[in-house]
């Protein structure tokens, strides 16, 4: 469900939005100067064209959540100097032939995916620690291509934190409030990553709070700018996109789900699928647009009810929409009505956007994904690839709607998710004869799917006739995961895996990314010492908080720094500072 209509609210009466905003902000400890998200100024004119010739300042944010805890020690790998020696000692030195003692990767297997960051040494925990020599996992050739082209960067050792100053020496003696609760729990860490407020009970996600900020609820509903929901999830309900007023609209990889039982005989409008004329105020009696209460102007944007709607399904739909058009004095009835209208309109708007990439109007995106997965053990139509394909279609279609002067949205926040990263066993799966790696299973297969899907996503936007490099500059994708996993494996044979860790490496992509660089601080890979929080397994204390990482991204979306924006959305950020070594976005692009 998604309430994306910009309704004019009667502020003299109690309403759900004000109640939730005020109570939620109070629970986050936000100051009285700016105590509700609804008081924040709209930055970037979300959902509205700017004054310069109707052009739009479009931006799309894409969360790539790696569910289960991606072993980023097996993702971004040091290949030179002291870091490699520590890596081998902690992880083990297997070979791909004749068994797998540990989970480390041999230098020969990494030769094809070696990378050389442009900001040599800026990320080292001590001078010369990595010698600026790295490689990606052998399955990540497509990500290497993006990195070398300056379109992708890495942010090291990011994780949930409640305060700075956590060390190995004080980890066990610190009070519970000084550390994220349930630190190595999947569900808790997923929620904390997606909320960025680990020391409070969950109320909203930081993506939802950004969406709340980008929608000015006091502006009223403007029919000419009604567009797709700001938050769209391709992987069901999630914490990241939960806002006070904005909620994610959940879409399947095949598009929006139509109202069940009401599809028979319903005609399409001039916009390629919507059943209402969304260029005029819908569901408003007495207007020239879509008015279910009128006897002559119901379904067709050009006039009267046609024979196609004179069916049982058509008349049921008319009755339903008449109910949605009625006014309700009861607050609960009114909110229920708003949700229903929102879903009804968004169904049509999704179809409007998708028509530009369905192969009939413009080019299909399938070819880009098919090319990316050529000669792959994974099919191009796997679920994660299909999620990114649908996101690419919605980004391109929405941008085209805006360019054509049709309803669209200048800001969009997407959520995608790839599961399977809980690799306690068989992380490096062997083939049937145990003489080599089974690239179709284990962590290799997960990273193969991830890297090819991300590369195809880039190619689809960058190469589509309605996309191109200009649109790629308007897209930013970022990875997140529950946590990384222990450096030291839990077994020394091929059945082994890695267990729950803490800080891990993330990556960012997009035209505004200062790519071919590594940001943050690479962990000192010393088990039973250094930043190994406890024991001797290699659980890295994060050097960058989720707040710092996410705040940079939110600023790119148009949220200003300080108490007028960022500090409200990330109430714990002031504890950590902005992070001078996290300059991974060119805000001028």
Interval 308-335: pLDDT, tens: 455 666 667 667 767 777 777 788 887 8
Which domain does 512 fall in, by range? 64-207+364-575
Whether residue 554 has pLDDT greater than 80: yes
Distances (CA, A) of 550 to 331, 477, 579: 35, 12, 11
Per-chain mean pLDDT for the chain: 80
Contacts of 84 (CB under 8 A, 6+ apart): 78, 133
Q: Which residue has the higher pLDDT, 404 or 489?
A: 489
Q: Is residue 158 part of a domain?
A: yes
Beta bridge partners of 545: 159
The model's pTM: 0.86
- Closest listed residue to residue 229, CA positions, set 361, 105, 60: 60
Q: Could you report the per-residue pLDDT of 570-588, keeping only the tens digit for each?
A: 999 999 988 889 999 999 9
- Quick one: pLDDT band at residue 307, thresholds 50, 70, 90? very low
- The number of folded domains in the chain is 1
For residue 389, being part of any structural domain is answered with yes
DSSP output for 129-197:
SSTT-EEE-TT-HHHHHHHHTTSEEEEEEEE--SSS---TTTTTTS-GGGS-SSTT-HHHHHHHHHHS-
User: How wide is the angle at C-alpha 202 spanned by C-alphas 199 and 206, nearest 5°?
Assistant: 90
Q: How far is CA 349 from CA 45, 233, 346, 401, 485, in A?
A: 20, 15, 5, 10, 41
Mean pLDDT of 411-430: 94
What pLDDT was estimated at residue 332? 86
Residue 324 lies in a domain: no
In a domain, residue 78? The reply is yes
pLDDT score of 24 more than 60 = no
What is d(CA 573, CA 589) in angstroms, rounded to the nearest whole number? Answer: 25
Computed over its alpha carbons, how large is the radius of gyration of the chain?
25
Q: Is residue 473 part of a domain?
A: yes
Give domain status of residue 22, yes or no.
no
102 CB-contact burial (10 Å; exposed 0-12 / middle 13-18 / buried 19+):
buried
Of 34-43, 67-76, 78-87, 299-308, the one with minimum mean pLDDT is 34-43
Answer yes or no: is 279 within a domain.
no
Residue holding tokens 């071919």? 516
346 within some domain: no
59, two tokens: 């931006």
Sequential DSSP letters for 352-412 = HHHGGGSSSSS--SHHHHHHHTTT-SS-TT-HHHHHHHHHHHHHHHHHHHHHTTSS--SEE
Cα–Cα distance for residue pair 413/419, rounded to 1 Å: 20
Residue 284 pLDDT: 54
Residue closest to 206 by CA, chosen among 578, 565, 583: 565
pLDDT over 90 percentage in the chain:
55
Strands 152-159 and 504-510, sheet pairing: antiparallel
């Amino acid at each position: 469900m998604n309430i994306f209509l910009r309704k004019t609210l009667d502020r003299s009466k109690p309403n759900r939005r004000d109640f939730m905003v005020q109570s939620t902000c109070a629970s986050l400890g936000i100051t009285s100067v700016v105590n509700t998200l609804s008081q924040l100024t709209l930055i970037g004119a979300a959902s509205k064209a700017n004054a310069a010739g109707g052009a739009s300042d479009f931006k799309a944010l894409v969360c790539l959540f790696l569910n289960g805890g991606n072993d980023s020690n097996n993702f971004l790998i040091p290949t030179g100097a002291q870091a490699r020696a520590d890596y081998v000692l902690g992880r083990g030195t297997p070979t791909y032939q004749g068994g797998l003692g540990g989970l480390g990767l041999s230098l020969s297997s990494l030769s094809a995916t070696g990378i050389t960051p442009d900001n040599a040494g800026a990320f080292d925990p001590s001078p010369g620690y990595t010698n600026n020599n790295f490689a990606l996992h052998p399955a990540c050739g497509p990500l290497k291509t993006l990195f070398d082209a300056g379109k992708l960067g890495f942010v090291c050792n990011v994780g949930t934190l409640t305060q700075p100053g956590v060390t190995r020496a004080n980890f066990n003696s610190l009070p519970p409030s000084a550390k994220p609760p349930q630190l190595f729990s999947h569900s808790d860490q997923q929620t904390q990553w997606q909320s960025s407020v680990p020391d409070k009970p969950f109320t909203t996600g930081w993506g939802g709070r950004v969406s709340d900020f980008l929608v000015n609820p006091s502006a009223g509903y403007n029919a000419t700018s009604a567009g797709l929901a700001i938050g769209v999830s391709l992987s069901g309900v999630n914490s990241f996109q939960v806002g006070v007023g904005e909620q994610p609209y959940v879409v399947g990889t095949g598009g929006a789900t139509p109202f069940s039982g009401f599809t028979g005989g319903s005609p399409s409008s001039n916009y390629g699928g919507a059943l209402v004329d969304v260029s005029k105020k819908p569901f408003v009696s007495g207007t020239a647009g879509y008015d279910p209460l009128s006897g002559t102007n119901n379904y067709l944007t050009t006039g009267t009810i046609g024979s196609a709607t004179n069916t049982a399904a058509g008349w049921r739909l008319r009755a339903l929409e008449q109910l949605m058009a009625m006014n309700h004095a009861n607050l609960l009835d009114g909110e229920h009505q708003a949700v229903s209208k929102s879903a009804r309109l968004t169904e049509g708007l999704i179809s409007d956007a998708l028509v530009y990439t369905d192969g009939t109007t413009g080019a299909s995106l399938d070819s880009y994904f098919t090319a990316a997965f050529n000669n792959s053990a994974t099919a191009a139509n796997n679920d994660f690839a299909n999620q990114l394909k649908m996101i690419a279609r919605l980004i391109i279609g929405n941008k085209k709607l805006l360019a054509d002067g049709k309803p669209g949205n200048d800001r969009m926040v997407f959520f995608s998710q790839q599961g399977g990263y809980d690799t306690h066993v068989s992380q490096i799966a062997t083939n049937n004869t145990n003489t080599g790696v089974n690239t179709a299973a284990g962590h290799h297969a997960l990273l193969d799917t991830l890297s090819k899907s991300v590369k195809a996503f880039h190619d689809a936007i960058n190469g589509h006739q309605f996309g191109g490099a200009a649109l790629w500059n308007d897209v930013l994708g970022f990875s997140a995961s529950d946590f990384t996993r222990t450096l030291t494996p839990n077994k020394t044979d091929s059945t082994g895996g890695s267990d729950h860790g803490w800080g891990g490496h993330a990556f960012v992509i997009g035209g505004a990314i200062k790519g071919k660089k590594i940001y943050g601080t690479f962990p000192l890979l010393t088990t039973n010492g250094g930043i190994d929080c406890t024991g001797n397994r290699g659980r890295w204390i994060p050097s960058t908080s989720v707040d710092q990482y996410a705040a940079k991204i939110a600023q790119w979306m148009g949220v200003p720094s300080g108490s007028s924006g960022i500090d409200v959305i990330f109430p714990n950020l002031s504890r950590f500072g902005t992070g001078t070594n996290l300059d991974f976005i060119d805000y001028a692009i």
